[in-house]
Amino acid sequence: MDKITQVQDEALAAIAAAADPEELQQVRIRYLGKKGMIQALMAEMKSLPKEEKPAFGQKVNVCKQTVTEELEKRQEELNAGALVQKMEKEKIDITLPGDSISIGTMHPLMMIQQEIEDLFIGMGYKVAEGPEVEQDYYNFELANIPKDHPAREMQDTFYIDPNTLLRTHTTAMQMRELEKAKGQTPIKLICPGKVYRRDDDDATHSHQFMQSEGLVVGEHITLADLKGTLEFMANRMFGEGRQIRFRPSFFPFTEPSVEVDVSCPFCNGKGCSVCKGSGWIEILGAGMVHPHVLEMNGFDPEKCSGFAFGIGLERIAMLKYGIDDIRNFYINDQRFLKNFDRFD
């Protein structure tokens, strides 16, 4: 019985003296392990006379219990100490200024594209996409511009091979969508995207630029529908009170064809330097889809009709944001792009 007391006292002293979790683990093994001192006491019980066994066993159990509890207590103490030490070492100085993260800005052309998409989606249009490397067939043939047609010279083209080119206008997507519809109406689409022409770059020309095509085909679609739609668009994009004017023009894929002007948003039509005194600014080309284009794409021009338009996004962005050189959109000068910071 004295031995038990002795073992317990030793164990408690060792626990109290353990300076870190590893030392404590050693103490645990020494006293509570399978070959430990307390287990050894248990083994000794066998050699005792029967009547002494219960009291001895009970005392060993109390000893084991006491040592286990003390070990746990010390373990917690040591853990807390270790944590404090760790926190001390890894202390973070929250008064230091944070790293500034430079977040990209929305490109002005993307802003215009999204604005157009939003406003047409609001009128029930869908947004279509198509390839920038296009077949001559969709860019020209289906658009009523056969091989020897002089209108091909209106758009200097980057050819990849005689049948493949970089699309010169989003009208190529109009043709793909018409073909895809297989004569089924109604169609209400806008198709934004990049286009390419063999132009020398200057303040108003770029060999790569952006357009958005618009296309509506159905029964009884008229030029008045086109005018109402574009008037709505002009008012949304350039502010209320804009007027629209049609001037006769020519595109092989529309008949009749028009060039569309918007009343100058800078002088309200009175005449200023932006509209060169005329009070009007040209914004896009449009027209009624040519009956031959409808026919070639499997529509019956006796039963349905449609309007289409093609709008240049750079021109709209230049007007809206007062940008005087188209090259600004493509040279990625941060000083220019930062002007369109969403978080300013």
Q: Which residues in this chain contact ligand DAH in the complex, by CB under 6 A?
A: 169, 171, 174, 213, 251, 254, 285-287, 308-310
Nearer to ligand DAH, 105 or 155 (CB): 155
- CB 279 → ligand DAH: shortest distance, Å? 23
Strands 244-251 and 208-218: unpaired
CB of 307 vs ligand DAH, minimal distance in Å: 7
Q: Which burial class, exposed, middle or buried, applies to 255 when counting CB atoms under 10 A from its CB (0-12, 13-18, 19+)?
A: middle
**To the nearest whole angstrom, how small is the minimum distance from the Cβ of residue 102 to ligand DAH?**
37
User: Which residues lie closer than 8 Å to 293 by C-beta, 6 or more apart?
Assistant: 142, 143, 144, 175, 178, 253
Question: Least distance from C-beta 258 to ligand DAH, angstroms?
Answer: 8
Is 247 in contact with 280 (CB distance < 8 Å)? no
If the CB atoms of residues 254 and 263 are measured against ligand DAH, the closer one turns out to be 254
Under 8 Å between Cβ of 264 and 280:
yes
Q: Which of 73, 76, 74, 5 is nearest to 37 (CA)?
A: 5
Instruction: Go through the chain and tell me how many residues it has.
Output: 344
Identity of the residue, 4 or 289, whose beta carbon is nearer to ligand DAH in the bound complex: 289
Only one residue has tokens 């200024």, namely 97
Nearer to ligand DAH, 36 or 310 (CB): 310
Strands ordered across the beta sheet of 164-166: 133-135, 164-166, 159-161
**Minimum distance, C-beta of residue 287 to ligand DAH, in the bound complex (Å):** 4
Nearer to ligand DAH, 39 or 249 (CB): 249
Report H helices in the chain: 2-17, 21-32, 37-44, 53-89, 108-121, 136-139, 171-181, 223-238, 291-296, 313-321, 334-337
Token reading at 343 = 């978080």
Nearest residue relative to ligand DAH (C-beta)? 310
Shortest distance, CB of residue 184 to ligand DAH, whole angstroms?
A: 20
Smaller CB separation from ligand DAH, 18 or 237:
237
The token pair that represents 261 in the structure block: 């002007």
For ligand DAH, the closer CB: 18 or 195: 195
Distance CA 187, CA 130 (A): 16
Phi-psi region of 210 (alpha: psi -120 to 50; beta: other; left: phi over 0): beta
Question: Of the two residues 105 and 139, which places its CB atom closer to ligand DAH in the complex?
Answer: 139
State in angstroms the smallest separation of the CB of 96 from ligand DAH: 55
Q: Which is nearer to ligand DAH, 157 or 268 (CB)?
A: 157
281 burial type by CB count under 10 A (0-12 exposed, 13-18 middle, 19+ buried): buried
* CA–CA dist 238, 280 (Å, integer): 13
Q: How far is the CB of 214 from ligand DAH (least distance, A)?
A: 7
**What is the spatial distance between Cα 313 and Cα 108, in angstroms, rounded to a whole number?**
10
Closest approach, Cβ 285 to ligand DAH, in A, equals: 3
